[in-house]
Amino acid sequence: MSSTADKLIDDYLKRLNRELAGFPRARRRELVDEISEHIAEARADLESENEAAIRTLLDRLGDPEDIAAEARERFGARSKGSGWDVVALIMLLVGGVILPVIGWIIGVVLLWVSETWTTREKLVGSRPGASRCSSTQSATRRVMRCGRRGSTTRSRVRRSSFREPRRAHGLHGSCHAHCRRRSAVSHRPEERPVAHRRSTIS
Amino acid sequence: MVAQQDALLAQMRRGTLQYCVLSLLANEERYGFDLVRGLAEMDGMVTSEGTIYPLLSRLRRDGLVESTWQESPAGPPRRYYRLTDSGRAALEGFRLEWRRFRDAVDHFVERTET
């Protein structure tokens, strides 16, 4: 029996981990750890351990998708930080033009203190000239969109956008064209993402 | 109408749940599982137990609760949560507001009950 139980629990935690992809690694690990602690406690609390009891235990815990949705809701609608995220992006994109070198450095620092991006995205974003890279642009779209929507739609938007960096890899060619166009209108930062979004979606 | 009411209930639960968590921690430290079962005892407060953990994580990041590891009488160590001073202040503030709000709603809703 115990191997069936272990497998059910293992599958559940793996699914949860997958659903939380896109959160900073520390936060994801914290949530998965706490939920596996919960499972261990609940399991020890069972009168008799059988497959039905384990399934009931996991049902009570809820669908991993719902837990991830809750996490996005609780952390997605951040009040502090998101304004700085926009500043970080602007500095990374055009900071070097406004304040040579220093502007870009400010952008990199803000990028690394933010919790919006994954470590991989931060590494990509820190490369000089990264603003021409498609990953940075998808991250830009993500933050700009989050800032433009209400909190109810925000979680949905974040959810779909978490997967963007991977998808964006095939866009290099067209993105360079966008990039040149974007730098021409860079004095209107709030209008850029909309135009960019429409052109990539259509 | 039913769907609307469900959505409203979900919103109310979402808005007040964190204060229920803070209240449960007002007098004693609790570990995650104990806290979750404490909430689940009240009908209608928690639909799926796992969704409490993102909330706890958020409360900790906001500095309203803090957690420490403590040995358990049986099994591995447990992560215990307790209120911080700002958590206590937030709970106090909410209590006052909640009473006012509840009384105001009662004033209208109860009076017109048929």
Task: State residue A95's pLDDT score.
Answer: 77
Q: Are A116 and A92 in contact (CB under 8 A)?
A: no
SS3 A97: helix
Task: State residue B69's pLDDT score.
Answer: 94
pLDDT digits (tens, 9 = 90+) for A57-106: 999 999 999 999 999 988 874 434 456 777 787 878 877 777 788 888 88
B82 forms bridges with which residues in the sheet? Answer: B66
d(CA A102, CA A125): 16
Q: Looking at the complex, report in whole angstroms how far the Cα of residue A44 sits from the nearest Cα belonging to chain B.
A: 9
> What does the angle CA B53 – CA B58 – CA B62 come to, to the nearest 5 degrees?
150
Closest of A59, A54, A55, A63 to residue A16, by C-alpha: A63
**Residue in chain B nearest A29 by alpha carbon:** B57
The answer to whether B57 contacts A74, with C-beta atoms less than 8 Å apart, is: yes
Task: State residue B114's pLDDT score.
Answer: 61
The answer to whether A71 contacts B78, with C-beta atoms less than 8 Å apart, is: no
Task: State residue B88's pLDDT score.
Answer: 97
Q: Which of residues 31-70 of B touch A (CB under 8 A)?
A: 31-33, 36, 40, 47-51, 53-58
The answer to whether B79 contacts A67, with C-beta atoms less than 8 Å apart, is: no
Instruction: Say yes or no: B74 contacts chain A, CB-CB below 8 A.
Output: yes
d(CA A104, CA A109): 9
Q: Looking at the complex, report in whole angstroms how far the Cα of residue A190 sits from the nearest Cα belonging to chain B.
A: 29
How does residue B90 score in pLDDT terms, banded at 50, 70 and 90? very high
Residues near A26 by beta carbon (within 8 Å), at least 6 away in sequence: none
Task: State residue A82's pLDDT score.
Answer: 57
What residues in A contact B70, CB-CB < 8 Å? Answer: none
pLDDT digits (tens, 9 = 90+) for B29-47: 999 999 998 898 887 788 7
Task: State residue B84's pLDDT score.
Answer: 97
What residues in A contact B39, CB-CB < 8 Å? Answer: none
Average pLDDT, chain A: 70
Instruction: Say yes or no: A128 contacts chain B, CB-CB below 8 A.
Output: no
**Residue in chain A nearest B33 by alpha carbon:** A38
Q: What percent of chain B has pLDDT over 90?
A: 66
Task: State residue A85's pLDDT score.
Answer: 75
Q: Are A32 and A16 in contact (CB under 8 A)?
A: yes
Instruction: Say yes or no: A130 contacts chain B, CB-CB below 8 A.
Output: no
Of residues B72 and B43, more confidently modeled: B72
Closest partner CB to A34 (pick from B32, B40, B76): B32
Q: What percent of chain B has pLDDT over 70?
A: 96
Residues near A142 by beta carbon (within 8 Å), at least 6 away in sequence: A116, A157, A158, A161, A164
The residue ranges of chain A whose pLDDT is under 70 are: 1, 77-83, 115-118, 128-202
DSSP assignment of B71-88? --SSSS-EEEEEE-HHHH
CA dihedral A96, A101, A107, A113 (to 10 degrees): 170
Closest of B18, B85, B61, B12 to residue A80, by C-alpha: B61
Q: Are A159 and A72 in contact (CB under 8 A)?
A: yes
Of residues B111 and A18, more confidently modeled: A18
Task: State residue A184's pLDDT score.
Answer: 43
Strand residues in chain B grouped as ranges (E): 30-31, 65-70, 78-83
Closest partner CB to B33 (pick from A30, A38, A71): A38
The answer to whether A37 contacts B32, with C-beta atoms less than 8 Å apart, is: yes
Task: State residue B65's pLDDT score.
Answer: 97
| Rg value, chain A, Cα | 21
**Residue in chain A nearest B15 by alpha carbon:** A74
What residues in B contact A30, CB-CB < 8 Å? Answer: 57
Tokens read off for A84:
């700085």
DSSP state of A91: I
ipTM here: 0.86
Closest partner CB to A34 (pick from B14, B76, B79): B79
Task: State residue B42's pLDDT score.
Answer: 82
Instruction: Say yes or no: B94 contacts chain A, CB-CB below 8 A.
Output: no
